[in-house]
Amino acid sequence: MLLISCSPAVRYSSITEKTIPKEAKLSDFRKAIINEVKNYIGTPYKKEGMDCSYFTMVVFKNAIGLNLPRTTSEQFKLGRLITNPDSLEIGDLLFFNTTGEIASHVGIYIGDGFFAHASVSEGVTISSINDPYYRKRFNGAKRIIESK
């Protein structure tokens, strides 16, 4: 049985001043996450490589040295659950039900209602959490690193 765990994304293909909060306002952790996300924008999706969970794993590893599990379902087991999209912070992992599983797609919240993720059709891209497709499928977020 073949399951694709990361759904197509549309809308945004690059990070701009508008989609990223001013770095001066960010903690070192958040700056590192944002800077690492920028390195991957446009990277093609690969089922055996750059899929959604690999993207989140490599960003956290390269940005702050944190080893996340390889799969979306394992990443969903980490951190503190955030159910209100209005309470999201930069670096939170966002989880979506795109295949019938509670956590079949994952991305990284980057602020101002946007998240970065690896899309089957777009590769690593930026999407709005307010997009009807994602809003309907949002199953919560996990805060892996608590604010100080």
Task: List the catalytic residues.
Answer: 52, 105, 117
Query: What percentage of the chain carries pLDDT values higher than 90?
Result: 68
- In the block, which residue shows the tokens 């087991």? 77
Mean pLDDT of 42-70: 93
pLDDT given at position 5? 41
Measured distance CA(100)–CA(35) in Å, rounded: 32
Residues 118-132, mean pLDDT to the nearest whole number: 95
Distance CA 115, CA 20 (A): 10
In sequence order, the β-bridge partners of residue 120 are: none
With contact defined as beta carbons under 8 Å apart, do 64 and 29 qualify? Answer: yes
Domains of the chain, start order: 23-143 (3.90.1720.10)
DSSP assignment letter at 90: T
Q: Mean pLDDT across the stretch 133-142?
A: 94
Q: Give tens-digit pLDDT for 63-118.
A: 999 999 999 999 999 999 998 888 999 999 999 999 998 899 999 999 999 999 99
Model pLDDT, residue 8: 36
Dist CA 137 CA 115 (whole Å): 14
Q: pTM (2 decimals)? A: 0.82
